[in-house]
């Protein structure tokens, strides 16, 4: 395990050795293989609940998704004693049922974004130890969730993930905000830390803020921790690892990607997203794709009858390496990925870069 020089942090009673949370990537990109590998390196490994039943050949029925999630959690637990989480999109039509399933399986953490998880504490059974971590894009959202949970459930979030506009996948920003300096992660971290601080007294514990979106190096981690974050969330870099659960052709798309290949798309779910622009997306933008029906009904905000493609079908195809009929979400720094490595080597690299940044800071003090 890499040496992170005393950067361990707590989410409730969970002690996390490395200040790295692996982002949940659906459909099928971060499952038990990747999550357990990251957990074994001292970070937080995260399974994506999105479309988990479809991956096994299902049709998106609730029982298939529940069974699929249970199976992935069990497989991950068999491979690690580390900290494991599940990422569940609030916009999923079965959000409540998947959250309850993860809690029944005693998952360590639930990360909930793509909407405000205002009702999430309501799903917790008596004695549930699962930590609840909303994903937000602003101090205002963090304050609203904390205030609502405290008033309605006498509970405060155990941590927050703050996802900035350089993240991959669906983004919680208007298109005009994505490149606006006032909405960049470095500006947002101190704002969210300040918004969360008053709730720490009520909670009687620290509420970690986990910075996400465009984090690529150990230097980035050092900078964000100095701004007040307790840890970072990284996704793009973990795709190009041997342990990532996606097809090798999916991973190779990251290795082959150049900065100019990355763009912002309008997703059928009604949000902007960052992806590698390929022929599938070009054809969709030109009106060349059109779904015949909606086989999954997976996202509450999806208007497939008006959209150019079924996003679940496209992402499942991509996960399986069929990029002619799918596409790849990617972070803003995806063009800097040049090789497929292992989770262990990546974590060692990040830790070494972090320690070097600390040493430079001390020398310049």
pLDDT at 311: 83
**Multiple choice CATH, 9-246+340-364, 3.40.50.11900, 2.40.30.40, 3.20.20.70, 3.30.70.2170:** 3.20.20.70
Assigned token pair, 91: 């916009």
| pLDDT beyond 60 at 300 | no
303-314 confidence digits (pLDDT tens): 565 667 888 888
Task: Give dist(CA 135, CA 267) in Å, integer.
Answer: 19
pLDDT of res. 293? 59
Q: What are the pLDDT digits (tens) for 95-125?
A: 999 999 999 999 999 999 989 999 999 999 9
Predicted confidence (pLDDT) per residue in 8-61, tens digit:
999 999 999 999 999 999 899 999 999 999 999 999 999 999 888 888 766 667
Q: What is the pLDDT of residue 137?
A: 96
Mean pLDDT of the chain: 92
pLDDT in tens, 15-26: 999 999 999 998
| pLDDT at site 56 | 73
> If you average pLDDT over residues 126-143, what whole number do you get?
96
**Domain edges within the chain:** 9-246+340-364, 248-334
The answer to which of 49-58, 64-73, 187-196 has the lowest mean pLDDT is: 49-58
Indicate if the pLDDT at residue 295 is higher than 80.
no
């Amino acid at each position: 395990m890499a040496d992170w020089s005393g950067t361990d942090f707590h989410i409730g009673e969970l002690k996390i050795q490395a200040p790295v949370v692996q982002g949940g990537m659906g459909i099928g990109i971060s499952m038990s293989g990747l999550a357990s590998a990251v957990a074994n390196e001292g970070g937080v490994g995260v399974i994506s609940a999105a479309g988990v039943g479809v991956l096994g050949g299902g049709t998106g029925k609730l029982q298939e998704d529940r069974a699929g999630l249970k199976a992935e959690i069990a497989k991950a637990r068999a491979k690690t004693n580390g900290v494991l989480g599940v990422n569940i999109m609030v916009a999923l039509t079965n959000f409540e049922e998947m959250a309850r399933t993860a809690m029944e399986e005693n998952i360590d953490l639930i990360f909930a974004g793509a909407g405000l998880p205002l009702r999430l504490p309501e799903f917790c059974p008596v004695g549930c130890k699962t930590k609840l971590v909303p994903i937000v894009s602003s101090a205002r959202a963090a304050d609203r969730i904390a205030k609502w949970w405290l008033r309605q459930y006498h509970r405060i979030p155990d941590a927050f993930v703050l996802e900035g506009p350089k993240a991959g996948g669906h983004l919680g920003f208007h298109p005009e905000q994505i490149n606006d300096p006032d909405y960049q992660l470095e500006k947002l971290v101190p704002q969210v830390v300040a918004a969360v601080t008053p709730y720490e007294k009520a909670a009687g514990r620290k509420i970690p803020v986990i910075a996400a979106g465009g984090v690529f190096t150990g230097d980035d981690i050092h900078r964000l921790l100095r701004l007040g974050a307790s840890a970072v969330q990284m996704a793009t870099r973990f795709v190009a690892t041997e342990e990532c659960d996606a097809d090798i052709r999916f991973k190779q798309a990251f290795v082959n990607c150049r900065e100019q290949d990355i763009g912002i798309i309008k997703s059928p779910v009604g949000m902007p997203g960052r992806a590698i622009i390929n022929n599938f997306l070009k054809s969709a933008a030109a009106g060349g794709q059109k779904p015949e029906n909606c086989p999954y009904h997976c996202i509450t905000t999806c208007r497939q009858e008006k959209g150019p493609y079924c996003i679940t079908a496209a992402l499942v195809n991509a996960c399986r390496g069929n990029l002619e009929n799918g596409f790849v979400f990617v972070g803003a720094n995806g063009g800097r990925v040049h090789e497929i490595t292992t989770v262990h080597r990546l974590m060692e690299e990040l830790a070494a870069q972090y320690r070097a940044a600390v040493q430079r800071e001390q020398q310049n003090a």
